Amino acid sequence: MHDHDLDRRTFVQRTGAATGILALAGCLETDDDTDEDEDTGDPSNGDDAVPRFPEVEDPPAAVYRPTHRESMRMLEPITAGEYTLAPMLSYPHPFWLVTGGAGEDDIERVDPEQGRGVHMMFTLWDDETGIVLPVDTSATITISQNGERIGSPHSPWPMISQEMGFHFGDNIPLEDDGTYTVDVELPPIPTHTTGDLEGRFTDSETVTFEFEYDRAFREQVVGGVEYFDESEWGERGALEPMDHGHDDHDDDGHHDHDGDGHHDDDGHHDDDNGHDDDDGHHNDDNGHHDHGHVPYSALPPADAYPGTRLEPTDEADTDLPRSGDAAIFATLLESGSRLADGDDQYLLVSPRTPYNRVPLADMAMQVTVERDGEPVGDADGTRLVQTLDSEYDLHYGASLAALQSGDAITITFESPPQVARHQGYETAFLEMPPLEFTVPEEP
């Protein structure tokens, strides 16, 4: 296993960061009261306090800067069949589940059951195209120690976080220190795929990896947490995507704003600039990931898409119109597009997070078209199909009969993205009012 190499490097980095741990000691809550009872008698205890998880008072109903940046240990990516999976481990922490409705009552904070354990995440991508698979797969995780299974199998949640983008994850309680083996069964992917992805991902694969859960791990992930200045908490904006690439897991990089190119604006995009498309660098090495490089699930910037870009009917102060702070890009591909049926045009709608362009998966939406105030086509609306394309990545699309310039297209969001959320995304993309677009004059 490559893990051993990683662990050695981790060790070196950790000892180097010892002063950082001491400096952060004041930020740690000794959360012992939650699990004191079951911990007595275990000699490895006493170091399983989890970092405090301050919440922002009255956060905006929008993407906002969280209170802190998590640290994590990255394990070596593993390839199985068409998939590559990169496991990442952090300390158990709260996240939010979307519970099937729209509005703030339909999101639910999930707190870890105990401090001992990990927040296990993995990013899954297609080895051939490098596309992160923001898919609704019913992956199954089983965990064992010394050949004995621990707990029941479980399905990880699809999640989004500002630093990690789309990934799968969950808190997993662990009792004992030691080496754990994780089997991830990946069934065929049910998502509609097009382009070079058509007909792919039809086999089941199993990925296996191991990790160490011990004091050193806890010190690394707990000691690496970076709390931001309280004045920044809850500001509209987002953390930069984590730089997974060049150092496998250089947690210190988070502290070193000058030494890390990604953080030269403090990882902090100002909402006023409204540029959803300003940095196309996240995905620039698709298909050529370095050893240990984990791609980030950023969609292409809006100007990378062909077709006639639909114009928001209402003036927007951002490049892309927002609904529930989700940036909604919509374009009309000409008839003859490989995505369109017959002579139809293809409406491609690509909802993404502002700032980081993370695809918003597991939504349901439909469109209605009006021409001179009269409905065109199905008055009840046409459902858009969630689709993963080799060129345009995750989007929602439908073939539509010839639209004309001036046609009004209303996109209705029947359900917001059902993916679980890390801090900073849990108040956005919930209540999503319809957006109206206009087909522009031919250029």
Partner 1 sequence: MTLPDRSALSRRDYLRTLVAIGGATALSACVSESGAIDIPAGTDDPDSLPDRQHAWNDSLSRDDDGNVQPPDHHVLVPLALLDEPTDETRAQLEDAFRTLERAYEWSTDGLLFTIGYTPAYFERFDDALPESVDLPKPTALTASEDPAIDEFDALLHLASDHSQVVLEAEEGLFGDHDDLNGVAVETDLTGVFERLEDQRRTGFVGAGLPAEHTDVSGVPDSVPEDAPFFMGFRSGFEGSQATEDRVTIEDGPFAGATTQHVESLETQLRTWFEQDSHPMRVRKMFSPEHADENLVGDVGEKLTTTNGLTDERIDATEADARRGVVGHAQKAARARDDDGPPLLRRDFNTVDGDRPGVHFLSLQHGIDDFVRVREAMIGDDLDVMHANNGILSYIFVTRRGNFLLPPRSLRALPRATPQ
Binding site for partner 1 (CB under 8 A): 97-102, 106, 108, 110, 113, 136-138, 140, 149-155, 157-158, 170, 173, 185, 187-188, 190, 204, 362, 364, 383, 414-416, 418-419
**Residue 300 — φ and ψ, nearest 5°?**
-60, 150
Find the shortest distance in angstroms from Cβ 389 to partner 1.
18
Q: Tell me which amino acid residue 390 is.
A: S
In angstroms, what is the minimal distance from the CB of 354 to partner 1? 22
Instruction: Identify which of residues 52 and 383 has a Cβ nearer to partner 1 in the complex.
Output: 383
Minimum gap (Å) between residue 278 Cβ and partner 1? 31
| Least distance between partner 1 and beta carbon 62 (Å) | 20
**In one letter, which amino acid is 13?**
Q
Q: How far is the CB of 192 from partner 1 (least distance, A)?
A: 11
- CA pair distance 172, 151, nearest whole angstrom: 10
Q: Distance of CA 198 to CAs 134, 192, 287, 400, Å?
A: 15, 8, 17, 21
In whole angstroms, what is the distance from residue 344 CA to residue 402 CA?
6
| Degrees, nearest 5: CA angle 174-179-185 | 75
Task: Return the number of the residue (137 or 353) whose C-beta is nearest partner 1.
Answer: 137
Our CB check for partner 1 shows the closer of 24 and 141 to be 141
Q: Do residues 84 and 127 make contact, with C-beta atoms less than 8 angstroms apart?
A: yes
Query: Which two tokens mark 424?
Result: 């900073």
Q: Which CB, 1 or 364, lies closer to partner 1?
A: 364
Helix/strand/coil percent split, the chain, to 5: 15, 35, 50
Nearer to partner 1, 161 or 286 (CB): 161
Separation of alpha carbons 242 and 264, rounded Å: 13
Phi, psi of 203 (to 5 degrees): -100, 155
Residue with smaller CB distance to partner 1, 169 or 234? 169
Looking up tokens 């196309």 gives 280
In the complex, least distance from residue 326 CB atom to partner 1, rounded to whole angstroms? 15
